[in-house]
Chains A and B, each alone.
Chain A
């Protein structure tokens, strides 16, 4: 007969505390990567700064927003959303790398909370997005961005952006867990991101797009969130767009978290 050791009975409250602790450990570890590979953070900041400069100074002269707002005020909220949307690729790449390195295999044999690997990854990406948004706000002000809405509305817009990015992260977590390696994860992510970020109202007003594109470009999640933020930041008819953005975000979270968790559980490679 085998010896049965006493099973440690863990109180539910203790379980939750442990799960949070594990998530914090994994989050910390993922954030450490940014200090070890600063090039990653550099890229996730340089690309949006380039976009701001490109659209502000190169294309900006030729683009005329519908209302009389200066283009820079039209542009910045869009770049915020576009940046965090692109940043979600790093969630899929990071998880694919963890799988590839065999780290996930190690995590599976540890007495840690199952969800911590995913929660820690998406939390780290949320932290990165906070930094990204702060820096971009600075760059925005430097190139003449002058949001006319209230500070509260501005913060609400930032909250909306971060929440949206967090929801997207879970979707891209699913992709990362489904990809055989990090390169494929990246390749799989871009066909989704390009239409979402460019066929959108992030950079240009949609009324100059062909009719068949306009509907998509107006109501897809990146556009909806960009419009909501724009209205919050520079004033406008807020409610409907904010509600739509929150609906998209909630929908993503409700669908993608279980999907990603399911994928994580079943991706025993």
Chain B
């Protein structure tokens, strides 16, 4: 097996008013032509790892290589091999979309005509042709984000780094981007992406590393991680707080995982969803408890954290404005059936997603491209 990216015991401490151990010995390896997901809550160290791997930041210690080249000792070689779309769109507000991409092409030392054709193709692929000659000031957040991703692809990098690429994209654009990534990987590109959404990692990544407070706390295929966790989460919403203790007891009887409670919502990780649901309903019925909400859903990043660390991830949504339609929406899907959210695009939701179909080029964000 050949590795396109290797990180070995990376450490980085930010010294400011308060000392922050952003990376505390992070190691992983990314197989060529696959998607590797770095999953973690706010402040986990994902961006720091990406910045080190893309030669922007020097680690305090540890080594990292991209296609065999050390990021500290051969940064200029590494830069010819990589593409980066950072967490926040790095674009020039005063230039048009086309000028932005052209600038990046020129700075990659591509020929003039090569740049022109490549830029036109990317604008088309990302649904930005109509807006191509308008200054970026007139772009919506999602359009900016897509332009930033296009900029990362101008030089056809062998290794692509995407830091939370779908944050701020609508569900349609997100699906389109997923398809673009799958196509790239089919054609041999290696992708490292960071995300806060287990669902996204599940859909795209062949391998995952879960990071928390600068450490890798779990690693493996999405299927393995979820299996370790128990595949599903059973959520029971109660009308009456007074029923919570008895509900906890009923759900505790289901299996190895212990239920948790937040207000009138009790949830437990279960290994076999449908069977557990039936057992739970019977138990609740015999207790005379009628829930107002009863859902089976895929485990979220939060659940992964709870299971791995025994605490909730990062104390809330943080500054990134969690998008509607992603992650978990407690109370959304009532009724029976595995409550994977509609519109997020995981069918079945259990496949590793690495055998992506990659149906040719897709018009990313066609639905929103024309927005002013």
Which of A's residues lie within 8 Å of B, judged by CB? 1-5, 7-8, 18, 21-22, 25, 29, 32-33, 36-37, 101-103, 105-112, 116, 268
Q: Which residues of B contact A1 (CB under 8 A)?
A: 2-3
How close is A29's CB to chain B, nearest CB, in angstroms? 5
Give which listed residue, A3, A18, A107, contacts B68 with CB less than 8 A. Answer: A3
Q: Which residues of A contact B90 (CB under 8 A)?
A: 101-103, 105-106
Task: Give the residues from 64 to 106 in chain B that come closer than 8 angstroms, CB to CB, to chain A.
Answer: 65, 67-69, 74, 76-77, 79-82, 84, 86, 88-95, 99, 103-104, 106
Q: Report the bound CA distance from A103 to B55 in whole Å.
A: 15
The 0/1 profile, CB within 8 Å of A marked 1, for residues 144-167 of chain B is 000000010000001000000000
Q: Report the bound CA distance from A110 to B104 in whole Å.
A: 8
Which of B's residues lie within 8 Å of A, judged by CB? 2-4, 6, 32, 51, 54-58, 65, 67-69, 74, 76-77, 79-82, 84, 86, 88-95, 99, 103-104, 106-109, 135, 151, 158
Q: Which residues of B contact A109 (CB under 8 A)?
A: 54-56, 79, 82, 84
Q: Is the CB of B57 within 8 A of A5?
A: no
Q: Report the bound CA distance from A25 to B106 in whole Å.
A: 7
How close is B141's CB to chain A, nearest CB, in angstroms? 14
How close is B154's CB to chain A, nearest CB, in angstroms? 10
Q: Which residues of B contact A268 (CB under 8 A)?
A: 51, 56-58
Q: Is the CB of A5 within 8 A of B94?
A: no
Counting chain A CB atoms within 10 Å of each CB, the highest count among B6, B67, B82, B92 belongs to B92
Q: Is the CB of A36 within 8 A of B91?
A: no
Q: Which residue of B lies closest to A37 (CB)?
A: B94
Give which listed residue, B51, B55, B92, contacts A101 with CB less than 8 A. Answer: B92
Q: Which residue of A lies closest to B67 (CB)?
A: A5
Q: Which residue of A lies closest to B80 (CB)?
A: A111
Q: Is the CB of A106 within 8 A of B108?
A: no
- A sample of 17 inter-chain contacts (CB < 8 A) reads A2-B4, A5-B67, A5-B81, A29-B95, A32-B94, A32-B95, A36-B94, A36-B135, A101-B92, A102-B89, A102-B90, A103-B90, A103-B91, A108-B54, A109-B54, A109-B55, A111-B80
Q: Report the bound CA distance from A25 to B108 in whole Å.
A: 11
Q: Report the bound CA distance from A110 to B151 in whole Å.
A: 11
Give which listed residue, A3, A7, A102, contacts B4 with CB less than 8 A. Answer: A3
Q: Is the CB of A32 within 8 A of B99?
A: yes
Additional A-B contact list (13), CB under 8 Å, known A36-B135, A109-B82: A2-B2, A2-B4, A3-B67, A4-B69, A25-B103, A29-B92, A105-B56, A105-B86, A106-B104, A107-B107, A109-B56, A111-B79, A268-B57
Q: Report the bound CA distance from A7 to B108 in whole Å.
A: 16
Q: Which residues of A contact B89 (CB under 8 A)?
A: 102
Q: Is the CB of B94 within 8 A of A102?
A: no
Q: Report the bound CA distance from A8 to B69 in whole Å.
A: 12
Which 10 pairs of residues, A with B, have the shortest CB-CB distance? A4-B68, A102-B90, A106-B90, A111-B79, A2-B68, A36-B94, A112-B107, A111-B80, A109-B54, A109-B84
Q: Is the CB of B32 within 8 A of A3?
A: yes
Q: Is the CB of A36 within 8 A of B106?
A: no
Q: Using known A-B contacts A8-B77, A109-B54, A109-B79, determine if residue A101 contacts B69 with beta carbons closer than 8 Å.
A: no
Q: Is the CB of A2 within 8 A of B92?
A: no
Q: Is the CB of B135 within 8 A of A106?
A: no
Q: Is the CB of A3 within 8 A of B95?
A: no
Q: Which residues of A contact B81 (CB under 8 A)?
A: 5
Give which listed residue, B57, B69, B76, B92, contacts A111 with CB less than 8 A. Answer: B76
Q: Which residue of A lies closest to B76 (CB)?
A: A111
Q: Which residue of A lies closest to B100 (CB)?
A: A29
How close is A172's CB to chain B, nearest CB, in angstroms? 20
